Amino acid sequence: MKRARSFARTGRGQIGLFLVAVVVGVAVIGPFVMPYDSTAIVGAPGTPPGNGHILGTDYLGHDLLSRLLSGGWSVLWLSVATTALAYAVGVTIGLVAGYSRTLLDPILMRLVDVILAFPPLLFFLIAATSVGTGKATLVIGIAIVLAPGVARIVYTATREVSVCAYVEAAVMRGERTWSILRREVLPNISSYIITNLGLTLTFSILLVASVNFLSLGLQAPASNWALMISENRPILKLNVWAIVAPAGMLAILTIGVNLIGDAITDALGRSDGPGEFNRAKWAG
């Protein structure tokens, strides 16, 4: 755990934390300091910066700065929610399938392979057509797309750990399966789960942005950076900031998360395989 925390002392970790902190600050504080209501028409559509509007106006005449300040929270909570749900499902499937020596293993993993082979955006088009658009569809849909990748990593690590001596000893002691998974297996594959977290969160941000850009998620008049890019394409020549500003915020967030993920991976060390936790414990 000390090495996991040491990422903040690296250059990449510090830069990543700073970038993410900037975006989180804008997303959290923005709605309380925006100069206008994000849905109020305050000027002519596509007006460039000036006349009291620092970034100008959007395609309908909303104050662009207000839309930008109010549009980050949805990106953050949707990305975090989808990642958390994907991990809850993926880790559970990976643990169960990796530890099981029954028919449950191939059934679960073949289902994972099918979902992995399915194009994400095509999946959302089908989902939106079948059950409609909205926050619930977006969160559940992205979690379904991301969970198989998490499950694959957890499955592989669990298969390796499940044959270690300390797991066999727990079985001989008569411990329940869920107790073994929670106390013996999960702690020893945690480094694999943590190092994959940054990549999964990055994919989540990109998928949330892509789905909203295609208007398959949130709908107007909701404020969302990806939705702003899609909505303001017709006025690109009139006010370039209508697209550059929200795209820049998404880029800063993605770069920051990537840098933090890389720093955590370096801190944990790629050479540590499953079982380091208990091997160290037994040795000490």
What pLDDT, in 10s, does the model give residues 139-176? 888 899 999 999 999 998 888 888 778 877 877 887 78
Per-residue pLDDT, 284: 33
217 within a domain of the structure (yes/no):
yes
pTM: 0.84
198 within a domain of the structure (yes/no):
yes
Per-residue pLDDT, 221: 78
Which structural domain, as residue segments, surrounds residue 248? 7-31+54-283
Per-residue pLDDT, 278: 43
- Whether residue 28 is predicted with pLDDT greater than 80 in this model: the reply is yes
Span 29-39, average pLDDT: 91
Q: For the chain, what is the HEC assignment?
A: CHHHHHHHHCHHHHHHHHHHHHHHHHHHHHHHHCCCCCCCECCCCCCCCECCECCCECCCCEEHHHHHHHCHHHHHHHHHHHHHHHHHHHHHHHHHHHHCCCCHHHHHHHHHHHHHCCCHHHHHHHHHHHHCCCHHHHHHHHHHHHHHHHHHHHHHHHHHHCCCHHHHHHHHCCCCHHHHHHHHHHHHHHHHHHHHHHHHHHHHHHHHHHHHHCCCCCCCCCCCHHHHHHHCHHHCCCCCHHHHHHHHHHHHHHHHHHHHHHHHHHHHCCCCCCCHHHHHHHHC
Here the CATH number for the domain that contains residue 246 is 1.10.3720.10
Residues 6+ apart with CB under 8 A from 178: none
273 within a domain of the structure (yes/no):
yes
49 within a domain of the structure (yes/no):
no
137 within a domain of the structure (yes/no):
yes
Which range scores top for mean pLDDT: 109-113, 121-125, 272-276?
109-113
Per-residue pLDDT, 134: 77
196 within a domain of the structure (yes/no):
yes
Per-residue pLDDT, 211: 85
Each residue's pLDDT tens digit, 214-247? 777 777 778 889 889 988 998 988 999 999 999 9
44 within a domain of the structure (yes/no):
no
% pLDDT > 70, the chain: 91
Domain count of the fold of the chain: 1
Mean pLDDT of the chain: 83
Each residue's pLDDT tens digit, 175-213? 787 888 888 888 888 888 888 888 899 889 988 888 888
- Whether residue 138 is predicted with pLDDT greater than 90 in this model: the reply is no
Per-residue pLDDT, 6: 64
**Of 46-50, 65-69, 149-153, 219-223, which range is least confident?**
219-223
Amino acid identity of residue 174, one-letter, is G
2 within a domain of the structure (yes/no):
no
- Whether residue 272 is predicted with pLDDT greater than 80 in this model: the reply is no
